[in-house]
Structure 1
């Protein structure tokens, strides 16, 4: 079946919600205006419980169905990015330097649309826990919410989320069983040599040459240290050093990202980075310190839950517009922490052609908000039927 008729009736209201949220982008855990707006809407809808202050500005709203049953978790992220907006929209960011460039304003809107429908109709058993999460883009608000006990506190049995997907056909749902997004780590390498005059390099221990050697050697991790069919990305993304053409600097800095799906591959990368940094430092007669920071784990869908989710998506969008075996992506997502705690699935929802996420001209496509809200609502009704 197509978009739920009652939710289609909310389309203009949802568009207004989304564009207001777009105009007030906030970062990380500090989302006072965003959280206040979401709270206002949820209370007006008549949710049964509203729990605030989780992971600072996150909240969980509870809607009770008709009769006993499990609690399904539905999650939307609320935070924005530190990007100067270039859309030229009349609802563009009013917070200079902040922008909803990843569609979280749309994610929040879709979950609010589902909340309005579910609170009105309550055509399901058990409960639904609507999770509004901060800090997906930064420190992992999902991790904080899980550590603060939202799963146990609200007895959540399974959990689902949507993410907008530019470049996919408008209204197309896409997911896959098992891993769908990679784990993301980062590394920082601080090199210390001995500076001096550029005309007298023999009197220095040059950190520039050492940084080049380390960066080159890091490339061999992918090309020579791992099985070619195991997905792996190791990218050096920053090298900073020097101040003038006639000065050999004292220090250099290297930064990069690691994307993996397998913990064994991740461990191998960590070992090789340690060996490369130590060995290259000795070879160039400098000192070098590696700081490896483990970030979000891989986002891994529970196969049976992904299959059920794509079945519901087919009801909403049609057979051709619901793809259940997409290729996994090397991007990362902190919804992984929820999926480590409970079974569930993460899906993408196509929003058509246009600038990609994290681009200063990106804008969420309001036409897909009723589609996403319908998916959330039907997930609850189909998986937790009355009687």
Structure 2
């Protein structure tokens, strides 16, 4: 990549960094991407995919496969604590996951395709909304415009702090976990605090649920994890005993089926505890992420791309515990999600002093270019 192109992508990334938008609110970000892509003269531009999503389609002259390359539009509801000149200008919102950098990489791929159209088949560059909430990919896939061009392959990367800059982290099969946010609502009965025997406080039952849920994975044969992330008991009223409680937990596993089984066991466990205390219990689910599964054929293209670029590659054996909305594409097509090292001393994702390292942009663009060369030339 020449310096002029790199500087252009770096500047674009830093503008995106200053104006982060949350999941489902990415209007200005989408407008900036649309403006950037004007010069690429894509053969087709699809707007409002699954919300604020955008897709740029580049057609080849001959028949061939369709491949998709995805990045994410959304930022996080976290305050940024950095001294950089291009720090977030939006209070309480920041690109602390690197989606600004991922967008810059796909923008770089757009500049490449402007002068290097695929020879056969077609290439789709997707800017996906609402990744952080686990909703965007499903909405994109359901969109009638997307249904007309379901890809044969879908590729994505995620920068990974803790790994050497520009190193490629790759694995066949399960790569990132399935997860779901579980909300447990417990209903008892209020009473005057001086007469707790007249009510039915859910305090003890809630405490038992918290302990039991986090121990439940020990009984599972495959990897599972339950992390209680929030609990609320009654209201702040010193004259009143609590009448209800809420427990929130993230439930995760490496396979979708194992996660569903764990959710089933979690419900049964909470129902039994609630029954023991004469309480009512109900469940709600939010932010469901499918497991990300790397297809062997898609993996071959990614692995070969890294070899062609003479990059250091780390073949991991154990999947990552975090979840990625890209997993929803794994249900519908052959996918590859790989990691791009962001530096061993880089702050971790979602920490408020994280900032995507611009110097890894060319490697991200290069990986996708090499995959396109294999599939479409």
152-161 vs 346-355, greater mean Cα deviation:
152-161
Conservation of the 8 A alpha-carbon contact between 1:184 and 1:257: yes
Q: Structure 1 residues 329 and 362, CA, compared in 2 at 3 Å: closer, same or farther?
A: same
Is residue 250 from structure 1 mapped to residue 243 from structure 2 by the alignment?
Answer: yes
Which position in structure 2 is the counterpart of 1:209? Answer: 204
1:126 is aligned, of 121, 125, 128, to 121
Residues of 2 paired with 1:123 and 1:282: CA distance? Answer: 62
Q: 1:270 to 1:56 in 2, by over 3 A?
A: closer
The aligned residue for residue 240 of structure 1 is 232
Please list, as runs of the form range in 1=range in 2, the aligned pairs for 1:37-56 lying within 5 A after superposition. Answer: 37-56=32-51
Q: Tell me if the contact between 2:301 and 2:374 (Cα under 8 Å) persists in the aligned partners.
A: no
For residues 146 and 69 of structure 1, the distance between their equivalents in structure 2, rounded to whole angstroms, comes to 21
| 2:342 aligned with 1:351 | yes
For 2:241 and 2:361, how far apart are their aligned partners in 1? 56
**TM-aligned CA deviation for residue 332 of structure 1:** 0.7
Task: Provide the secondary structure at the position in 2 that maps to 1:89.
Answer: coil
Aligned counterparts of 1:337 and 1:251: Cα–Cα separation in 2? 35
In the alignment, structure 1 residue 369 sits paired with structure 2 residue 365 = no
Q: Deviations over 1:87-121 (max 9, x none)?
A: 12111111111111110000010011011012113
1:58-69 → structure 2 map (5 Å cutoff): 58-69=53-64
Alignment of 1:21-32 (within 5 A): 21-32=16-27
Query: 1:1-387, aligned counterparts within 5 Å?
Result: 5-6=1-2, 9-122=4-117, 124-149=119-144, 151-224=146-219, 226-227=220-221, 230-242=222-234, 243-244=236-237, 247-293=240-286, 295-318=288-311, 321-352=312-343, 353-385=345-377
Structure 1: how far apart are the matches of 2:74 and 2:327? 17
Going from structure 1 to structure 2, the CA distance change for 1:34 and 1:124 (only over 3 Å counts) comes to same
SS in 2 for 1:248: coil
TM-score, with length taken from structure 2: 0.94
Write the distance in 1 (CA, Å) between the matches of 2:190 and 2:72.
Answer: 47
Q: 1:154 & 1:249 partners in 2: Cα distance?
A: 53
Distance in 1 (alpha carbons) for counterparts of 2:23 and 2:98: 15
C-alpha displacement of 1:123: 5.9
SS in 2 for 1:290: strand
Q: Is residue 224–residue 262 contact of structure 2 (8 Å, CA) maintained in 1?
A: no
Mapped to 1, the partners of 2:199 and 2:173 lie a distance apart of: 52
**Distance in structure 1 (CA, Å) of the matches to 2:76 and 2:286:** 21
Q: How much has 1:223 moved relative to structure 2?
A: 1.9
How many residues end up aligned between the 2 structures? Answer: 375
Q: CA deviation at 1:155?
A: 4.7
Unaligned ranges ≥5, structure 2: none
Instruction: Give 1:244 shift.
Output: 4.7
Structure 1 contact 175–326 (Cα < 8 Å) conserved: no
Q: Which runs of 5+ in 1 are unaligned?
A: none
Detail structure 1 runs of 4+ shifted over 4 Å in the superposition.
none
Q: Distance in 2 between matches of 1:245 and 1:169?
A: 54
